[in-house]
Amino acid sequence: MPLISIVIPCYRQACFLPQAVRSALDQSFHDVEVVVVDDGSPDEPLAQLGELARDPRVVVLRQENRGLPAARNAGINASHGTFLSFLDADDWLASEFCERLYSVLARDEALGFAYCDVLRVYEDGRDHPQVEREYSVGRSRRVVTGEILPSLLVGGYFTPNTVLMPRRVLDRVGPFDTDLGGHADWDLWLRVAATGFPVSYLDERLAYYRIHGENMSGNLEHMRATQLLTLRKLFRAFPDTAAGAVCELCRNTEEQFLGNQFLQGQLKAAENRAVELQDWTLTLREAVDWHAQQVQRWQSEAERLKGVEQRFAEYFQETQNWITALEEGKNRLELQVLHWRSEAERRAAERTEEV
């Protein structure tokens, strides 16, 4: 197996360095060397390594502060690997990083580099980082594999620790530009793509990028200035290739504009339909309210009729009682009539006998 060199420059990130080095040493790909470059850091990063510094796979360098690109170049010059990984001291790697990306490069020797997805970690205390899962390298551009120069011209969209690069490619395009500071890595990717190397994206999150108050990307003035310098350098060195990439970018922008216009038309139509639906909803709500009022009204009427029915039943029962009482009185009267009729006949018979 070829050797993979993982270069780790460090400046004012000593507290994070042991995690970075440990992640490099714990790779499932066994043939790795780790080159740590102390770029004149005042927080004594090498003292933080302890036993890690005595691992035979670790190479330790110290130089006066010359900046991140120069520190990376020093580490590259001191390394021996056939493949190179660029890991900053405040970031770290998944244990399968080297193995998975090496397998991509081994299948296609024409590739300029292979790179993977990244997890951006917001530092909320070193022991409890908050992992952000919304960002994805693969979803940040339409084209992420093959010829990616137009995608890169929009701006850098992946961090250095996502990349594994053959040393022969770096020898061909040249090292990190020490004048470009925070955009030195973007400049390198641009030169690789402009030289004609295709790249391959592996849609796996195998790298971790820590976001905190000391990130170089937070210096907006520096980043804007070095971005302009990087683009000027690209157009001087690769005018035809850069112009072709810009044309492709313009076509993509026009397609996006037309697509946005179409989507805006669809959105407007959807808004009109939404208004219609709101009107229908209002009408239906009014109908529902009217129906509820009618239900309440007829429920009240039913309750009232229940009362009327109960009172009618009471009146009916009273009437039945009166009828029963009258029939009983009639029967008593008939009995009285019979009684007195018999009595009258008896008395009439007695008077007849006396006469």
Instruction: Please compute the mean of the pLDDT values over residues 305-332 and round it to a whole number.
Output: 80
Hey, what CATH class is 4-237 in? alpha beta
Q: Enter the pTM of the model.
A: 0.73
Most confident stretch, 37-51, 160-174, 291-305: 160-174
Residue 219 has pLDDT above 90, yes or no: no
| Number of helices (H), then strands (E), in the chain | 10, 9
- In eight-state DSSP terms, residue 217 is G
Q: Determine phi and psi for 13, rounding to 5 degrees.
A: -130, 30
Domain boundaries, the chain: 4-237
pLDDT above 80: residue 311: no
pLDDT of 126 reads 56
Tokens of 192: 């690789």
The DSSP bridge pattern shows strands 32-39 and 58-63 to be parallel
Query: CA-to-CA distance for 337 and 331, rounded, in angstroms?
Result: 10
The answer to whether the CB of 86 falls within 8 A of the CB of 161 is yes
pLDDT, position 180: 93
Between helix 184-195 and helix 68-78 the angle, nearest 10°, is 60
Give the pLDDT of residue 264: 79
CB atoms < 10 A from the CB of 241, how many?
17
Q: Are strands 113-122 and 130-132 parallel, antiparallel or unpaired?
A: antiparallel
Question: Among the listed ranges 56-70, 193-207, 318-332, which one has the minimum average pLDDT value?
Answer: 318-332
pLDDT value, residue 306: 78
- Asked if the model's pLDDT at residue 215 lies above 80, the reply is no
- pLDDT: which is higher, 276 or 33: 33
Question: Buried b / exposed e across 205-236, counting CB within 10 Å, b at 16+?
Answer: bbbbbbbeeeeeeeeeeebeebbebbbebbee
**Is the pLDDT score of 107 beyond 60?**
yes
Q: Which of 4-13, 193-202, 236-245, 328-337 has the lowest mean pLDDT?
A: 328-337
Percent of the chain with pLDDT over 70: 95
12: helix, strand or coil: coil
Residue 27 has pLDDT above 60, yes or no: yes
Q: What is the DSSP letter of 146?
A: B
Taking residues 54-61, what's their average pLDDT? 95
pLDDT in tens, 110-143: 999 999 999 988 876 555 566 777 889 999 999 9
Q: Give the pLDDT confidence score for residue 217 in this predicted structure.
A: 59
- Least confident interval from 26-30, 35-39, 302-306: 302-306
What pLDDT is recorded for position 173?
A: 97
How much is the pLDDT for 125? 53
Beta-ladder partners of 164: 85, 114
